[in-house]
Chain A
Amino acid sequence: MRVVAWRHAAAVLITAFAVLPIVFVVSAALNPVGTLSSSGLLPRGAGFGNLVRLVEETPFWTWYRNSVVVSGLTAVLAVAVSALAAYAFSRFRFAGRRAGLVTLLVIQAFPQFLAIVPLYVIFSAISDNWPVFGLNSVWGVVLLYVGGQVGVNTWLIKGFFDSIPTELDDAMRIDGCTHNQAFVRVVLPLAAPVLAISALLVFIATINEFLIASVFLTGDDARTLAVGLFGLLADQRNANFGMFAAGTLLTAVPTVLVFQFLQRYIVHGLTAGAVKG
C-alpha cells in the first residue's frame, strides 16, 4: 500500500505540472475582455461569452469538422502505411534496409518553413492536373501529412514489432501461413498498443498542425481549427485571446476523446500479449 501512496503523490505532482498552464487558458477563455491579461486566474465577470461568440460569429463547426476529418484520416492512413513499412523493416533482411531506416529518420530533420516553397510547387502542379488532391483539398493535405508522419511512425512501430518474438510468426508459417497472414494474425494484434499510440500521436500532431494548413487550406470550407483560430490572433494588434482560448480548449476535446477511446487498446495489448505469449 505504501508503494501505491508514493505513486499517487508522484502522479499528482506530474499532473499539476501538466495542468497548471491549462488552467490559465481556461481563465482566459472565461475572461470577457478579449485580452490575455496575464494577471490572475480569476477574471472579473467570468462568463461563457467568448464561447458563444466563437460559435455564433465564426464558422467554428466547419473548422471543427474539417480538423477531425483531416486528423482522423491522416491518423488511420499514416498508421496503416507505417505498419506495413515497419513490418518489412522488422521481419525482412534486404539490400538497402539499413540505409532506408537511417533515411527515414534523417529526412524529417529538414526545417519546415523552407519546405513550404517546394511543397507549393508540388501542389501547384497537382492542382493543375488532379484538383481532387490539389490546393484547398482536404485529400491533398492528408497525403502530405501522411508523408510527413510515416518516417517517425515506421520507426516507432518497428521498435515494437522487434520486441514481438519472431518465434510466434515462425510458428504460424510452419502451419502453412504466408507472411501476410502472419503479419495480420499475429503481429498486428500483439502490436495493438503501439498502433493505438501511433494513431493518437499522429492525430494530435495533425490537429495542431498550423504551418502547412495555413498555406494549403485557405478556402472558406477547407480551413481547419488551427488555421481558423489563428485567424482570430492574426491581427496582432487586435488579438481576440478570449475567443482564441475558448477555441483552443475545444480543440483539445476530440484529442481527449480519441485518447479515452484508444486507452483500452493500450491496456488491452498487455493482456492479449500475456494470453498469447
Chain B
Amino acid sequence: MTVTRTPARHDRAGTRSARRGGVFRPASARAVTARVLALGLIIGVALWAAAPLVASGNWTGVAITALATGAALYAYLTPRRLPLKYLLPTTFLLLAFQVFPVVHTMSLALSNAGDGHLGTKQEAIAAIETSSVRREPGSAEFRLTVAVKDDALVFLLADPAKGAAYAGTADGLRRIGGVTLGPGGRITAAEGYTVLTTAQASARGTEITALAVPVKGGAIRSQGLTRAYQGRAALAYDAACDCVTGQGTTWRADEEQGRFVAADGSALPQGWKVGVGLSNLAAALTNPKINAHVASVFAWNLFYAVAVVALTAALGVAGALVFHHPRMRGVRFYRTLIVLPYAMPAFAMLLVWRDLFNTDFGLINRLFGLHTDWLGTPLTARLSVLLVQLWLGFPYMFLVATGALQTIPAEYMEAAQVDGASAWQRFGKVTLPLLLLALAPLLVSSFAFNFNNFNGIFLVTSGGPFPSDDPTAGATDLLITYTFRLAFGQEGARYGLASAMSIYVYLIVAVISIIGFRRTRAFKEVT
C-alpha cells in the first residue's frame, strides 16, 4: 500500500536533500572533523594494507588495495553519492568472500583440476623424481652431519662400518681426515668445515633435501638431518624430449591430459593442471553417465525445496500467530523452547534424527509401536527427510514471522476491525499479505538454500535408498548430492567436473529464484 507509492516521491526528496547538504549548508566544524578523521582512517588502513604487498612485490595486490582505497575515499569524502556510503562495506565483503569464490570456481570448470591434477607440471616432475629414488639394496647407511665451507653446503658423512669419513658436495665424494666423532658415530667437528646446528641446518632444509652427492651407481642423499643413504632415482625428466624415462619405459608429456603417458597408454600417477576448455561443461550435458538421472533427480529436488519452504513457513507463521495475542501467557517460555531446534548444531541433530528413524532401534518406531523401514523405501525416506528439515527449519520462520508481526501497525488491524472484518478476513486481507511482504525474500533465499541442502540429505540418507539394479541415483538425491557423488566419489576430488556441474545447478537455482522473486510483492516494490 504505502510502500508502492512512496519510492518515486522519496527519490526526489533524497537527491534534493543530499544536494542541499553539500551546497547550501556550509560544512559545520563537526562535519569537517569527521571528514578529516575519515580521510585519516582510510589512508591509514590503506598504508597498513599496502606495506606488506609492496614489500613482497605483489603489484596485483597493491592495485586492488589502491582501487578499494579510491572507492572508499570517493564515497566518504564527497558530500554526494549517498547510497554508496551505506553500501561500500557490504560490497567489499561480498566481492571478497562471495563473488571471488564463484568466479574462481567457474575458472576451475575450464580445467582438469582434481586429485592427481592439482599443481603445475614443474611440481609434478619434482614429485615423480623424488618418489622414484630407491635405496640401493644393502648399501651403507651414513651418519650425516650438515656443515658449510665458504657458505657452500657440505655433507660430512661417517660410515661406521668402515670407520671412514667423507665430505660430499654436488661435485662428488672425497675422503677426509681430522674429524672428531661424537656419540652414535656422527662427526661433530672437521677441520676446514663449520658444522651447523640443527636449527641452522633446518633453515637451509630445502638445499639439504635437494643435495645429491654423486657416487658410482647413484647418489648419496640426506634422510633427515642425521642420516644419509645411497640411492638411485629410477625416473628422470628429460627436457629435450619433454618426457620421463626410466625402467625401460618412456612416458611422454600429454599436455591435453596433463600427465605423462607411455606408449601402452599407462600413465604416471602424478599429473598437473591443464586447461580443457569447455569439455567439462559439455560432459555434464552430454555424458549419459552423468545426465541419465538428471530429470528425475531434478523433479524431486524441486519438490523437496518447495515443500520444505512451504512446510517450514506454514508451521513457523502458525506458531507466531498462536502467540500473537495480548492475553496469551507464557509466551517467553514457549518461544525459548521452540527456538531450541534451531539453537542445536544442525549436523549433530541430523545424525540424531537418522538414528531416530532406525527400523529396529529408532525412537519413532518404538514410541508408536511400528516396524516401518523409514529410510529404506523411497516414499518413507522422502517423508523422513522432509520431516527432519521441517523440524530444523521452522524455528527460523517462526522467529522471522514473530518479528514481522510486531511491525504490522496496530492501526491497520483496528481499521479492519472497525470495518467489521472477521478474524479470518483480517488475517487473509491484512496480516498475511503484510507478513508475506516481509517474508518473501527469505522464502526465496530459503528455497535457494534447501535446493542445495547437501547436509540435510547427505547426513540422513546419503541420497538413498538406491534401486538395487542401479546404484547411481537414489530416491532422496538432490542435484547437489548426485553431483557430489559423481564428481568426488568418496574421497577423491574432480574439481573441474564438479565446478562445471555446480555451475549448472547454480544457474537453475538462480533462474528459479529470480522467477519466484518476480511473482512476489517484494519484487513489485522493487520495480
Is there any pair of Cβ atoms, one from A and one from B, under 8 angstroms apart in the complex?
yes
Residues of A participating in the B interface, judged by any CB pair closer than 8 Å? 3-4, 7-8, 10-11, 14-15, 17-19, 21-22, 24-25, 28, 36-41, 81-82, 84-85, 87-88, 91-94, 97-98, 100-115, 117-119, 121-122, 125, 128-130, 143-144, 146-148, 150-152, 154-156, 158-160, 162-167, 170, 173, 178-179, 190-191, 193-194, 196-197, 200-201, 204, 208, 210, 225-226, 229-230, 244-245, 248-249, 251-252, 255-256, 259-260, 263, 266-267, 269-270, 273-274, 277
A7-B325, A193-B406 known; A107+B94 contact, CB < 8 A = yes
Contact of A107 among B82, B102, B358, B407 (CB under 8 A): B102
Given contacts A114-B499, A117-B495, A201-B396, contact A102 B53 (CB under 8 A): no
**Which residues of A sit under 8 angstroms from B445, Cβ to Cβ?**
105, 108, 151-152, 155
- The B60-103 residues at the A interface (CB cut-off 8 A) are 61, 82-87, 89-90, 93-94, 96-102
Give Cα A267 to B434, complex, Å. Answer: 18
What 20 new A-B contacts, CB under 8 Å, besides A8-B328, A155-B442, A266-B403? A4-B329, A24-B356, A84-B86, A93-B8, A97-B83, A106-B448, A109-B510, A114-B101, A114-B498, A117-B495, A144-B97, A148-B97, A156-B442, A170-B10, A194-B407, A201-B400, A204-B342, A208-B347, A210-B347, A229-B348
Majority secondary structure, B binding face? helix
* CB contacts between A and B, total, < 8 Å: 327
Q: Which residues in window 332-378 of B have CB below 8 A to A? A: 332, 334-349, 351-353, 355-356, 358, 361-363, 366
B contact residues around A94 at 8 Å (CB): 83
Determine whether the beta carbon of B343 is less than 8 Å from that of A93. Answer: no
The smallest C-beta distance from A139 to any residue of chain B, in angstroms, reads 13
* With contact pairs A92-B82, A106-B448, A248-B344 given, residues A163 and B94 touching in the complex (Cβ less than 8 Å): no
B407 to chain A, nearest CB (A): 5
- A17-B94 in contact (CB<8A): no
With contact pairs A210-B345, A273-B409 given, residues A14 and B396 touching in the complex (Cβ less than 8 Å): no
- Within the assembled complex, what's the spacing in Å between the Cα atoms of A102 and B509? 12
* Whole-angstrom CA separation of A133 from B513 in the bound complex: 34
B327 within 8 A of A: yes
Chain B nearest CB, measured from A167 CB (Å) = 8
B484 at the interface (CB under 8 A from A): yes
Say yes or no: is B389 at the interface (Cβ < 8 Å to chain A): no
**Contacting pair B7 A93 (CB below 8 A):** yes
Could you give, for residues 376-408 of chain B, a 1 whenever the CB lies within 8 Å of some chain A CB and a 0 otherwise? 000000000000000100111001101110111
Interface residues of B (CB under 8 A from A): 2-3, 6-8, 10-11, 13-14, 17-18, 21, 49, 52-53, 56, 58, 61, 82-87, 89-90, 93-94, 96-102, 104-105, 108, 315, 318-319, 322-323, 325, 327-330, 332, 334-349, 351-353, 355-356, 358, 361-363, 366, 391, 394-396, 399-400, 402-404, 406-411, 434, 437-442, 444-445, 448-449, 451-452, 454, 480, 484, 495, 498-499, 502, 505-506, 509-510, 513-514, 517, 522, 525-527
Bound complex: CA A159 to CA B344 (Å):
27
Instruction: Let me know if B98 and A148 touch, CB within 8 A.
Output: yes
Q: Quick one: closest A residue to B409, CB to CB? A: A277
Cβ–Cβ contact B83 & A143, under 8 A: no
Q: When the two chains form their complex, are residues B100 and A24 in contact, meaning their CB atoms are under 8 A apart?
A: no
CA distance A110 to B101 in the complex (A): 9
Top 5 A-B pairs ranked by shortest CB distance?
A: A147-B97, A118-B104, A88-B86, A255-B343, A109-B448
Contact, CB under 8 Å: A11 / B322: yes
Query: Could you list 21 A-B pairs, sorted by A, with CB under 8 Å?
Result: A11-B330, A21-B341, A93-B10, A106-B509, A107-B94, A107-B102, A109-B449, A109-B506, A110-B506, A111-B454, A118-B100, A130-B49, A147-B98, A162-B437, A162-B525, A167-B2, A179-B18, A249-B344, A251-B343, A266-B402, A273-B406
With both beta carbons as reference points, the residue of chain B lying nearest to A119 in the complex is identified as: B101
Within the complex, what minimum Cβ distance (angstroms) separates B23 from chain A? 14
What CA separation (Å) do A7 and B319 show in the bound complex? Answer: 9
Given contacts A91-B10, A109-B448, is CB(A251)–CB(B87) below 8 Å? no
Are A21 and B90 touching (Cβ within 8 A)?
A: no
Nearest CB of A to B384, in Å: 13
Task: Tell me, rounded to whole Å, the shortest Cβ–Cβ distance linking B52 to chain A.
Answer: 4
Q: Are A129 and B341 in contact (CB under 8 A)?
A: no
